[in-house]
Amino acid sequence: MTQNPFLSSYTTPHQTAPFDKIKNADYLPALKDGLAQGRKDVDAIVANTATPTFENTIVALERSGDLLGKVTSVLFNLNSAETTPELQKIVKEASPLLSEYGNDITLNEKLFARVKAVYDQRASLKLDPESAMLLEKSYKRFARNGANLNEKGKERLRAIDKELSQLSLQFGENVLNETNEYTMVVTDEKDLAGLPDFARDAAKATAKQKGKEGWVFTLQAPSYGPFMQYADNRELRKKLFMAYNGRGFHGDKNDNSAIINKIVNLRYERANLLGYKTHADFVLEESMAGSRDKVQSFLNELVTYARPAAERQLAELTTYAKAHGFTDDKLQTWDNSYYAEKLKKEKYDLDDETLKPYFKLENVLNGVFTVANKLYGVTFKERTDIPVYNSEVKTFDVFDKDGKFLAVFYGDYFPRAGKRSGAWMNDIQGQKVENGENIRPHIINVCNFTRPTDTKPSLLTFYEVTTLFHEFGHGLHGMLANGKYESLSGTSVPRDFVELPSQVMENWCYDPEALKLFAKHYQTGEVIPNELIEKIRASQNFMAGMANLRQLRLGLVDMYYHGQKPTGETISQVESRVDSVANLFPHVDGIAVSPAFSHIFAGGYSAGYYSYKWSEVLDADAFEFFKEKGGLDNKAAADSFRKNVLEKGGSEKPMELYKKFRGREPSPKAMLRRSGLIL
C-alpha cells in the first residue's frame, strides 16, 4: 500500500507539495487525520494545569493543526485551479467537517476561558506589537464567533456555518458549470467582421480543441472580452453578453437565485446571533474602514464624483456611435465595449491589436520580475524539478538581494475547464517562524490569459498586463512576508488593506521607465516606442467615470445585500434599486450580476467589495510617493513600503502601517486626480 504523501515530510525541493504523488483518495484520510491531530493539540492546551500564559495558550493555539493546513491548502487551491467532479465531491464532504472543527475550537468554553485569562492581563504582559496583535486577534476569534453564546445559540451557529460553507461551494460550482457549458459556434466568416486576427485565431483553436467546425467563442475572459470589443455583429454581441450576464440566472440546475437568498438570510441571522445589527456590521468591525456607515458614505461620495463624469462619457460615446451608423435611441450594455474601443482608437490611435505584439506573456513576466528586483532587490530563477498540478504551471525560486532564499513562486496563466474564471493569488504554504526557523512561503498566481496559438505566442491585452502585475503585487505581499505568526503573515490583513500591494504594482504598467523594461515586440525585439507609451498614459482615464461607476455599482449591490435586514426582494428588484443610482444603461430582462458575483457569494469579499475602491485611495497616494523621488530608483519609498507594508502582514493595524510607510494618513485627492474625476 502506498504511503499517503500528506502524512510524512515532503522530500521535494523546499518541501513543496508533491502534486505528482497526491491522489484524490489521499485527501479525506489525511484531512481526517489532520482534524484528529488538531483536536488533540487543542485538548492538550485545555488540559494544561499550568496558569494560562501567552506561550502555553495563545502561541500553542496558533501552532495547532499543522497537518490540517497542509492538506486544505492543496485541496482548496486545486478546487479553484484544477477541479474535477470527483474533487468537488471531496470538497463538499470536507467543508462541513472543517466548519464543525472551527466551531469546536471557537465554542470550546474551557479553551476560551484560558484565552480570556491571558487577554485580561494583556496590559501587564509587555508583548511586542506583533504578539499583542496575535493576542487581540485570538480573543476576537472567539468573541466574534460565538464563544459568549448559550448552548442553544452555539448549536444554531454551528448549523448556520455548516450550511453556509456548502452553499458557497455550490454557488461557485454553478458559475463554473455555466461558464464551461456555454459555447457560441460561428460558421459564417462574415459574422467575424471586425474581429482582429488574434481573436479569430483563438476562436479557431478553440473550435479545433472542441471538435467543431468554424470558430468557437466561450465565456472565458480571453474569448468573451475581445468579441464584445470588436465584433461588428450586434446580435451576436448581444447573444454572448446575455449568456455571460445570465450565468446562474436561468432557473435551471445551475441557478443561484435561491442560494443567494439563503446565504444573505443566514449571514444576517448569524450576525444577529452574535449581537451585530447586520452582516456588514460584523465584517466591517475588523476592517480599516471600521463601520457600515463609513463604507456607505464612502461609496455614496464616490458616486457623486463618478456619475457626472460617466454621464458625460456616455453622452460622448452615444454621439460617436450615432455618427458611425448606430440608429437606436440609447446604447445598450453590449454596445459599450464595442464603441468605446472604436472611440479610443480614434481619440488616441490605440487599441489592443496595436499593443499586444509588445506584451508577450514571457516578456511581461520577466518585466514584473525586473520591476520587483529594482524596487526590492529580489530575483527569480525558474525551476523544472518542482512538482506541479498541471504541466502549464511554471515554478521559480525567489531570492533576496543577499542571495538568501525567500519563497517558491508558481505561475498558472491559461484558462482550462477545471479552472474558475478570474485571477487570484494564494499560498500553498504560509510564512512563519517556528523553533527559530523562518519557514518561507510557497505562493501561487492563477490567471486566465490569452493562450498561444499555432502561429503566435501568448500575447496579452493591456488589461491582462495590469492583471498580471496586480496578482503579482499580492504575490509579493506573500513572498516578502516576514512575521512570526502565520495567521498574521502575508495577505492575512483586513480586506480593505489587502488590495494596496496589488494595486500599487498596477501603476508601474503606465510608467515609461518600467514599460521599457519588458514591452518589446515579440518578432523584432523593438522596445515599445515613446509614442505608444504616451498614448497608453493619455488613455489611462478613458471612460474612467464609467469604469468607476461600474465598480461602485458592485460595491453598492454588496452593501445592499449585507448592510441591512434582508428585504425579501428578488435579485432583479435589488439590482434595479442600485441601478437607479449607479447604472446608466437601460434595464435588460434575463440578466443580473448577483448570480455570478463569486467575490461576495463564493469568495471572501462579502460586505467587502468596496475595498477595491478604498484601496485605490491608498495605492494612488502611495504611488505618488514612489514618483516624487525617482520612481523605480526611489529606494526610500521602496524600502519603506517593503518594511512597513509587505513584510508586516497583519501584525499591526493597517492605518498605523500606512502612516509608517507614508509619514501621514492617505489623501483621496491622488485617486480622484488619477481617475480624472477632479483636476
**Euclidean distance between CA atoms 109 and 107, whole angstroms:** 6
> Rounded to whole angstroms, what are the CA distances from 295 to 412, 491, 638?
34, 21, 30
CA dihedral 625, 629, 634, 636 (to 10 degrees): -70
**Euclidean distance between CA atoms 584 and 22, whole angstroms:** 50
Nearest CA to 33 out of 105, 101, 111, 79 is that of 101
Q: What ranges in 350-441 are assigned the alpha helix state H?
A: 352-355, 361-376
Local structure of residue 526 (DSSP, 8 states): P
**Euclidean distance between CA atoms 582 and 576, whole angstroms:** 10
Cell 441601478 appears where?
A: 579
Name 438's bridge partners.
Answer: 433
Dihedral sign of CA atoms 266, 270, 276, 280 in order: negative
**Euclidean distance between CA atoms 340 and 314, whole angstroms:** 9
> Counting beta carbons within 10 angstroms of the beta carbon of residue 524, is it exposed (0 to 12), middle (13 to 18) or buried (19 or more)?
exposed
Cell 455548516 appears where?
A: 162
> Rounded to whole angstroms, what are the CA distances from 232 to 189, 235, 239?
12, 9, 13
Nearest CA to 164 out of 562, 563, 574 is that of 562
Dihedral sign of CA atoms 123, 125, 126, 127 in order: negative
Phi, psi of 428 (to 5 degrees): -100, -25
Nearest CA to 160 out of 100, 104, 112 is that of 100
Given a contact cutoff of 8 angstroms between Cβ atoms, the answer to whether 501 and 474 are in contact is yes
Q: How many helices (H) and strands (E) does the chain have?
A: 27, 9
> How would you label 450-469 residue by residue, b for 16+ Cβ within 10 Å and e otherwise?
bbbbeebebbbbbebbbbbb
Local structure of residue 217 (DSSP, 8 states): E
Of 471, 486, 499, 616, the active-site residue reads 471
The yes-or-no answer on residue 471 being catalytic is: yes
Nearest CA to 287 out of 601, 42, 611, 584 is that of 611
Residue 17: how many CB atoms within 10 A of its CB? 26
Name, in order, each residue with C-beta under 8 angstroms of 518's C-beta and a sequence gap of 6 or more: 363, 364, 366, 367, 368, 370
Active site residues: 471
